[in-house]
Amino acid sequence: MSDIAPATDLAPEAARAAPPAPLDRGESLLRRHAATFLRSPSAVVGLVVLVLAVLGSLAAPWIAPQNPYDLTQLDIMDNMLAPGERLAGGTVAYLGTDNQGRDMLSAILYGLRISLGVAAAATIIASIVGASVGVLAAYVGGRVESFVMRVVDLQLSFPAILVALVLLAVFGRGIDKVILALVVVKWAYYARTVRGSALVEKRREYIEAARCLALPRWRVVFRHLLPNCLPPLIVVATVQVANAIALESTLSFLGVGVPVTEPSLGMLIATGYQYLLSGKYWISTFPGVALVVVIVAINLVGDRLRDVLNPRLSK
């Protein structure tokens, strides 16, 4: 008899002796955060509403009954139709029409595109500027940090609407001007948030290790320090998107925001404001409801992200 065991008997032993495959820490952490986020019904509802609003605004040219920016599709005889009445072309105006004959459902979808686009662009630019300034101030320290934070305090001491009104009075109306004004009034929030997080992170061992390796300062700041400051930045950015939408709508309502030819939700509300007392409630009410629903949805998502990404609140 041979003392060598058959290969079939060694295979199970080899399988049991093999070490388990290493877990992807990033993927497992992402799944844990996603599972924690989905435990909140209100956050899930807010996320669904937000996704539907974004998809509806992006697909507006294909799903909207009318292009409110195309003057050839507008008929002055269709102005101020009540919800449910038919346009001259036979299309049903489910939310009515405004004083220019624009279908309110189409105008809301296109208005969402402008409001969400302006807020998203301003948030991205402001977060990049503010995060860079905040992390550099925290890493350098000394007089540079003191100067930057005094500028941030000065910026935050003025009401955002007042600063935006002054800037738009100087630069004029336009989508690009509104984005610039929102960036100017919002960057300080991100700078203060990232600076506070960076002050804690720069005392960690991995930053000391990066310094001991004689890595360039820019690499230590932007490749090691800044990525670990992203969780609070994401929470602030999510909430600030809602604030940017509200601020843009306020500016458009006051007549200093986006041009009349490209109305946002605020401009639609301003258009129908003068007709509220005459019974034409739908011109302002439906855009206002859409604006409130989107802002509440973003805030619900932001509040839940704060609970998920903040380790002090996790259990």
Give residue 174's region: left, alpha or beta (phi > 0; psi -120 to 50): left
Q: What is the pLDDT of residue 28?
A: 75
Q: What is the pLDDT of residue 310?
A: 67
Please classify residue 31 by burial: count the beta carbons closer than 10 Å to its beta carbon, then call 0-12 exposed, 13-18 middle and 19+ buried. Answer: exposed
Q: What is the pLDDT of residue 297?
A: 94
Q: What is the pLDDT of residue 5?
A: 46
Please classify residue 226 by burial: count the beta carbons closer than 10 Å to its beta carbon, then call 0-12 exposed, 13-18 middle and 19+ buried. Answer: buried
pTM: 0.82
Q: Which helix (H) or strand (E) holds 92?
A: strand 92-93
CA dist., res. 107 & res. 89, Å (int): 17
For each successive 10 residues of the chain (315 residues), what is the average pLDDT? 45 44 56 82 92 92 85 80 84 86 90 91 93 88 88 90 89 88 92 87 76 75 79 87 91 84 84 82 90 93 83 50
**Among positive and negative, which fits the CA dihedral 125, 126, 127, 129?**
positive
CA dist., res. 222 & res. 238, Å (int): 22
Q: What is the pLDDT of residue 311?
A: 52
Q: What is the CATH number of domain 53-64+95-309?
A: 1.10.3720.10
Q: What is the pLDDT of residue 235?
A: 86
